Amino acid sequence: MFTRCRIGSVVALLLLVVVMVGCAKRPATTAASAPAPTGVAGATGSSGGSGGSGGTAGMQPGGSSGAGGGTATPSGSASGGARPVPREFAAIADLKDVFFDFDKYDIRPTDAKMLDANAAWLKSHENMLVLVEGHCDERGTNEYNLALGERRAKATMNYLVAQGVQANRITIISYGEERPVCSEHTEACWAKNRRAHFLIKPR
């Protein structure tokens, strides 16, 4: 009788673990009601080259991280209400993606020029809200990449705010490694996946 109880308990525990592991992943979403307190990403733009100092000190691609690492907590929308619905936003050709070096989230000088053009477009279309998606390549854990994707989206948002785009028009979301644009296991392909992507919708 005791043995049957123990076997039943072990089976129940295994089923619980399977259910927990199989739960669907949700992207990390953050509202932007004011500039992030970590400073303007544009200030780090000159250090984002292939040998530059990244803003990921204390973070390891294997999944361990320093302060601020881990999965981001979803919250709010650009208007301060309920969480945004990404499917309500759409991509347009006028807003170009920006890209990041491996394991970094600082804005590179070449991408700063692209963000300048994106900021100019957004300032001339003040009736539009923008959703900035942060993406990563497949290396590293899901949790690490969600956090890194959020940092990339925040750095992008900070740059846009520094260029005069109102922070309350911007919402950021991190998909980590979950939405690659390229599925090959090569550096050229990974570089395409390390990006911030822009979607808009009317206010």
Q: What is the CATH number of the domain that holds 182?
A: 3.30.1330.60
The amino acid occupying position 145 is N
Residue 17 lies in a domain: no
Report helix, strand or coil for 195: strand
119 within domain boundaries = yes
Domain containing 65: what range? 27-202
Q: What is the pLDDT of residues 89-106, one digit of tens each?
A: 999 999 999 999 999 999
- Residue 98 φ then ψ, to 5°: -120, 155
Asked whether residue 2 is domain-assigned, the answer is no
What span, in angstroms and rounded, lies between the C-alpha atoms of 118 and 113?
Answer: 9
What phi and psi values does residue 40 have, to the nearest 5 degrees?
-85, 130
Q: Is residue 120 part of a domain?
A: yes
Question: Which pTM does this prediction carry?
Answer: 0.64
Kindly give, in sequence order, each residue whose CB lies less than 8 Å from that of residue 146, ignoring residues fewer than 6 positions away.
27, 28, 71, 72, 174, 175, 176
- Domain presence at residue 11: no
In a domain, 170, yes or no: yes
Q: Quickly state the pLDDT bin for 196 (edges 50, 70, 90).
A: very high
Task: Kindly state whether residue 59 falls inside one of the protein's structural domains.
Answer: yes
The number of folded domains in the chain is 1
* CA gap 159, 174 in Å, rounded: 17
On whether residue 18 sits in a domain, the answer given is no
**pLDDT tens string 42-93:** 333 333 333 333 333 333 343 333 333 333 333 334 444 556 788 899 999 9
What letter represents residue 146's amino acid? L
